C-alpha cells in the first residue's frame, strides 16, 4: 500500500498509479453531487450549465448534500459537509465518467457491479471516506466556491475548494481490484468454513 497527495483535477496517470488499499489526500476542487441533481441530469435529461461542463474533466465527485448557510452576498458558508452512501447512485457513474470526464467518486459503502465496471472501462477510481467524519471533512473544505441548481437545495451541485482532504481509501481501482469484493469473499470463506464445521459427521 502507498500514500499519495494528489491535486484535483486528476490525470489518467494519477488514476493508473492507484491501487486498492492505497490512501490519498486531496488538494484542489471537488464537486458535491447527490441523488436529486443526478436524476435531473440523467433521468430528466436536463443538461448541465455550460460553465460547469468543462470543469468536470478529470474531476472528483463527492456524494453529499451539505448543511450550509446562505450569506447576504449570495455565497454559501459551510456548516457541515458529510458524505452519503454511494450504491444507490451507482447507475450514474458511467455517465459522469463517459460524458463529462469525471475520474473519481468519493462516498461510503462502495459501488455495485455496473459502477465498478465503469471504473475499469473508463480509468476511474472510487475513494471511501470513513463514516462519522463530517466534522473533519468540513474543516478540510476551505471554501464553497460555486453552486448550480440551487432549487434542489441541499442537493444542488457544489464546488468545494479543499486542502488536505482525507485521508481517503482507494477502495475500487481502475484495474478491477475492489476491497469491498475482497471482504465479501473472505467473509463467505469463513462462513462456509463455519457451516462445514457445524455439520454433524455422517
The secondary structure of residue 41, as a DSSP letter, is I
CA distance 78 to 174: 32
| Number of structural domains in the chain | 1
pLDDT of amino acid 184: 58
Burial environment of residue 102 by CB neighbours within 10 A (0 to 12, 13 to 18, 19 or more): buried
pLDDT of amino acid 180: 77
pTM of the model: 0.88
CA distance 124 to 170: 11
The CATH number that applies at residue 103 is 3.20.130.10
pLDDT of amino acid 94: 97
pLDDT of amino acid 195: 62
pLDDT surpassing 90 at residue 202: no
Residue with cell 470463506: 189
Burial environment of residue 185 by CB neighbours within 10 A (0 to 12, 13 to 18, 19 or more): exposed
pLDDT of amino acid 189: 54
pLDDT of amino acid 82: 86
| Each residue's pLDDT tens digit, 119-176 | 999 999 999 987 667 788 899 999 999 999 999 999 999 999 999 999 999 999 999 9
| Each residue's pLDDT tens digit, 97-130 | 999 999 999 999 899 999 999 999 999 999 998 7
CA dihedral 42, 47, 49, 51 (to 10 degrees): 90
Residue with cell 458511467: 94
Range of the domain at 173: 3-198
b/e per residue 6-20 (b: at least 16 CB within 10 A): bebbbeeebbeebeb
Amino acid at each position: 500500500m502507498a500514500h499519495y497527495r494528489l491535486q484535483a483535477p486528476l490525470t489518467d496517470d494519477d488514476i493508473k498509479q492507484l491501487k486498492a488499499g492505497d490512501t490519498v489526500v486531496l488538494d484542489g476542487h471537488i464537486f458535491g453531487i447527490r441523488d436529486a441533481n443526478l436524476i435531473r441530469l440523467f433521468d430528466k435529461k436536463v443538461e448541465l450549465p455550460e460553465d460547469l461542463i468543462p470543469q468536470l474533466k478529470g474531476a472528483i465527485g463527492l456524494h453529499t448534500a451539505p448543511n450550509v448557510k446562505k450569506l447576504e452576498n449570495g455565497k454559501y458558508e459551510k456548516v457541515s459537509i458529510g458524505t452519503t452512501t454511494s450504491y444507490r447512485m451507482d447507475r450514474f457513474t458511467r455517465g459522469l465518467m463517459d460524458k463529462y470526464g469525471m475520474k473519481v467518486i468519493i462516498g461510503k459503502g462502495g459501488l455495485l457491479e455496473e459502477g465498478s465496471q465503469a471504473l475499469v472501462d473508463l480509468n476511474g477510481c472510487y475513494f471511501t471516506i470513513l463514516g462519522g467524519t463530517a466534522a473533519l471533512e468540513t474543516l478540510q473544505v476551505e471554501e464553497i466556491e460555486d453552486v448550480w441548481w440551487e432549487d434542489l437545495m441541499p442537493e444542488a451541485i457544489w464546488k468545494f475548494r479543499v486542502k488536505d482532504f482525507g485521508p481517503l481509501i482507494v477502495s475500487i481501482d481502475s484495474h478491477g481490484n475492489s476491497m469491498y469484493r475482497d471482504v465479501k469473499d473472505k467473509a463467505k470463506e469463513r462462513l462456509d468454513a463455519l457451516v462445514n464445521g457445524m455439520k454433524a459427521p455422517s
